[in-house]
Amino acid sequence: MIISKDWKEYELLDMANGEKLERWGDIYLIRPDPQIIWTNKSKPELWKKAHAHYHRSKTGGGEWEYLKKVPESWQIHYKDFTFNLKPMGFKHTGLFPEQAINWDFMRQKIQNANREIKVLNLFAYTGGATIACASAGASVCHVDSSKGMTAWAKENVQSSKLSEKPIRFIVDDVIKFVQREIRRGNRYDAIVMDPPSYGRGANGEVWNIEESLYTLLELCTQVLSDNPLFFLINSYTTGLAPTILSNLLTLTIKKPGKVSCGEIGLPMKDSKLILPCGIYGRWEE
């Protein structure tokens, strides 16, 4: 397991009864997490600090209960990155803090490459990987099917003072976009993707990770440069083992390199407990 432990403004404070208490800057949130199957709170007094509590509905979805005043949006920082946060439907804030360990990996690989690097970021969400790669000197093509998430990513790029960096924002279905890049002859030195379990493209295209991921990886190998730097896949799909991502990368990338995989986790403050937060698969030169 790789663990994101260099945060200063985010903390996982406690977890019990299917919920986690987190500090996002000055805002404390309680959010559900199905991995938390134990019942004893380590710091019960801290839970009273919560500004908002997300309650999941038994019929699907859920809603926020606001216990204290919460700003419409606020910022937190990771190293020299700045992210804009806000409570969203289905419990999210617009940021997955566990991904910081992958941001560090990508940034270091690009900085140590000593050459120009072009990155393709698919299912790019609010731009954490885009910011990490651009800050390291790469040019980035950021692709997501949601106009709203792409606009949010642009805000994060601007807040991180990276607006002058070579970043291209594309709102499109990722498979159709990669197919067009193949026809155009465009190539990338690094690819990162965070595919959802299910989703719809910009024009209603259906995505199912079990049926679509291998096809997408095969397409992506056709836009890899002759000297690729890394290929990173993240996944939060329940039941998908890390070894599956390793197998997919081994089957599709026919170049010498190292493949690794595992879980991603967040440490609980003042504790030996770690919360698993999805899986990753990496190919690197």
Q: How many CB atoms lie within 10 A of CB 157?
A: 25
Q: What is the mean pLDDT of the chain?
A: 96
Residues of the chain with pLDDT under 70: 202
pLDDT of residue 89: 84
pLDDT of residue 10: 98
Element (H, E) at 130: helix 128-135
pLDDT of residue 59: 80
pLDDT of residue 75: 98
| Residues 194/123, Cβ–Cβ less than 8 Å | yes
pLDDT digits (tens, 9 = 90+) for 50-61: 999 999 988 878
Structural domains in the chain plus CATH codes: 2-91 (2.60.40.1180), 97-284 (3.40.50.150)
pLDDT of residue 243: 97
pLDDT of residue 58: 81
Local structure of 46: helix, strand or coil: helix
pLDDT digits (tens, 9 = 90+) for 166-211: 999 999 999 999 999 999 999 999 999 999 999 887 678 888 899 9
- 27-32/19-24 β-pairing: antiparallel
pLDDT of residue 87: 95
pLDDT of residue 141: 98
